[in-house]
Homo-oligomer: A and B are copies of this chain.
Amino acid sequence: MLDDFFTLENQLCFSIYEASSQFNKLYAKVLQPFGLTYPQYLALLVLWEKDGLTAKELGNRLNLGTGTLTPMIKRMEANDWVRRERSTVDERKVSIYLQPKALKEKQAIITKISADVKPCNIEFEEYEELMNQLNLLQKKLKQQNESLRK
């Protein structure tokens, strides 16, 4: 009984793992012409909303630590998407600012993603329902993660 449940087919964790990796692959393909990876694009999404966040703040939005973020931001800096600037008020903090390229390319990126992802034909209701459930689940998981801390 327990064993039936523990097949790959029945694992919610695997369904999410799979869906996530398909998103990854799809977006990687769509973004490649721009010289962007999927996580880099997610970082741009956050910065398009609010420019000049600190590394810490950006990390909180993306659930990423500096071990992941610092090298990624440096790569994005090397490709002229963003610029890093250490705060003069508090020298521990590094703020991240969009570069002109990131503003200029925004519309083209959005247009291409819409064009290439729309054919998936995901219904609006499907979207909303799924997202609500995922966000609920994500909160529960995060809570459990924090209660198991260490």
Contact = CB atoms under 8 A, between A and B. Distances in A.
Contact of A45 (B6, B42, B126): B6
Contacts of A49: 7-8
A144 B131 contact: no
Given A8-B49, A119-B144, A137-B130, A42 B14 contact: yes
Interface residues of A, number: 64
Given A2-B114, A5-B114, A7-B45, A23 B29 contact: no
Interface string A2-46: 110111111111111111111101110110000000000010011
A61 interface: yes
B2 A131 contact: no
Nearest to A6: B110
Which of A23, A126, A145 has the most C-beta atoms of chain B within 10 angstroms of its own C-beta?
A23
A134 B16 contact: yes
Copies in the complex: 2
A103 interface: no
Interface of A: 2-3, 5-23, 25-27, 29-30, 42, 45-46, 48-49, 61, 63, 110-111, 113-114, 116-122, 124, 126-127, 129-131, 133-138, 140-145, 147-148
Contact of A26 (B119, B121, B148): B148
A110 B15 contact: no
A23 B9 CA distance: 11
B133 A126 contact: yes
